[in-house]
Amino acid sequence: MRKIIISTIAAAAVASSAFGHFQMVYTPESALEKGTTIPLKIVFNHPFADEHTMDMGLQANGKIKPIEEFFVVHKEEKTDLKKDLKEITFKGNSNSGKAYETEYKARKMGDHIFVAVPAPYYEKNEDAYIQQITKMMVNVAGAPTDWDAELGLKAEIVPLTKPYSIWAGSTFSGIVKGDGKPVPFAEIEVEYLNYDVDVKNNKMGEKAHFEAPQDSFVTLTIKADENGKFTFGIPKAGWWGFAALGAGKADKYDGKELSQDAVIWVQAKEMK
Amino acid sequence: MKKILIVSAFAVSSMFAHTALMSCFDNGDNTITCEGGFSDGSSAKGVKFHLLQNGQSVLDGTFNEDSEFTFDKPEGDYEAQFDAGEGHKVTVKSSDIAE
């Protein structure tokens, strides 16, 4: 009995210390009426509370490692976008962090899935690394092409709901996978992007849209079922991030503990 | 008889369950490419395409293997039309086509 209690506390400690880090791949609109050029911002922060913006790729020795991969998949064709990335400083409400930006010509009809694989980030408070492999997609003109594809990422949330056509008040479902296998009972953190993003000036808006009634509402935690599947009811319009913690197999980096997480962003719309 | 009824009911419902879609862009070399499709992901290969000016068709064609149709940009205003039959037409105005 004692053992069980201790292990639960230990697990809770690990989980809580890792709370609320979200790799964002942001663009204002995921459901485009027609082809257009869109801005993309790659920022590592805490989207609900915006209390800290991390320097992407920060290592234990203080150096910055560049992003490992950034690409788009459209009609099963992968195109590298890493070479187009520009380093930026993104300003959050408490500090600024190293981030990236680019523009993308979302011209062709259908789904364009963006994938960012950042270098692991050293979280000093935990003496451990976090690597969030992140998916975000936009759709042009409503034709579905790639949204449900499994891209074979080391850690991946495969959507069962189109991430760009969700009514507020409905749900989002997905399957958590690590190296192609479902992750039973995966722990998933869910956060709402609670601030407007000032795309032009690379900063967060100053006013939060919603207030958390208590700390557990800042980063919501849900669990997948025995098949790695989860469903979350989306209460409000806007961007919602899902981060499946430790979904990837890799658990060591630079001689320290690594949490290789799978992140996906979805955008809900108000019925009006 | 029963079988026939069931089949036709399915055919009808699947026809109404999806929406015809088209999106066009300017290639920047005086040509325009229109991509057609359906909301259920099915291909627009073989679907009719019309290029209209002043309500008159000035060019007719069909969407290719990649559900695309490319044409030379005409002088003046025009409309591109995806024509998969009644209820499945989509018209895009030249003023809505971005480079």
pLDDT over 50 (residue B10): no
Binding-face residues of B in 9-48 toward A, CB within 8 A = 19, 21-25, 35, 37-41
Among chain B residues, the shortest Cα distance to A34 is held by B23
Span A233-243, pLDDT tens digits: 999 999 999 99
CA distances from B67 to A195, B28, B42, B49 (A): 39, 20, 10, 11
Among chain A residues, the shortest Cα distance to B90 is held by A141
Burial letters for A102-138: b for 16+ Cβ neighbours within 10 Å, e otherwise?
bebebbbbbbbbbbbbbbbbbbeeeebbbbbbbbbbb
Q: What is the pLDDT of residue A207?
A: 96
Q: How far is CA A186 from the centre of its chain?
A: 15
The domain segmentation of chain A, as residue ranges, is 22-269
Residue from B18, B19, B23 to probe the interface with A (highest A Cβ count within 10 Å): B23
The beta-strand segments (E) located in A28-162 are: 31-32, 36-45, 69-74, 77-80, 86-91, 96-106, 110-117, 121-123, 128-140, 155-159
Q: Looking at the complex, does the CB of residue B98 fall below 8 Å from at least one CB of chain A?
A: yes
pTM of this prediction? Answer: 0.89
The closest CB to that of A109, out of B19, B23, B40, belongs to B23
Instruction: For Cα atoms A104, A56, A182, give the angle at the middle one, nearest 5 degrees.
Output: 80
Q: What is the pLDDT of residue A87?
A: 98
The rounded percent of chain A whose pLDDT value lies above 90 is: 93
Q: What is the pLDDT of residue A115?
A: 98
Say if the Cβ atoms of B25 and A145 lie within 8 Å. no
Distance from CA of A245 to the nearest CA of B (A): 32
Distance from CA of A107 to the nearest CA of B (A): 7
pLDDT over 90 (residue A153): yes
User: A22-269, superfamily in CATH?
Assistant: Immunoglobulins (2.60.40.10)
Q: Provide mean pLDDT across the span A245-262.
A: 97
Domain architecture of chain B: domains with CATH: 20-93 (2.60.40.10)
The model's confidence at residue A12, banded by pLDDT at 50, 70 and 90, is very low
Among chain B residues, the shortest Cα distance to A32 is held by B23
Burial letters for B37-53: b for 16+ Cβ neighbours within 10 Å, e otherwise?
bbeeeeebeebbbbbbe
Distance from CA of A137 to the nearest CA of B (A): 16
ipTM of the complex: 0.78
Query: In what helix (H) or strand (E) does residue A172 lie, and over which residues does it extend?
Result: strand A171-178
Mean pLDDT of the residues in chain B: 85
Q: Which residues of A lie closer than 8 Å to B, measured between beta carbons?
A: 34-36, 107-110, 140-145
- DSSP class of residue B14 equals H
Q: What is the pLDDT of residue B5?
A: 44
Say if the Cβ atoms of A143 and B38 lie within 8 Å. yes
Q: What is the pLDDT of residue B99?
A: 72
Span B28-78, pLDDT tens digits: 999 999 999 999 999 999 999 999 999 999 999 999 999 999 999 999 999
Residue from A33, A34, A76, A112 to probe the interface with B (highest B Cβ count within 10 Å): A34
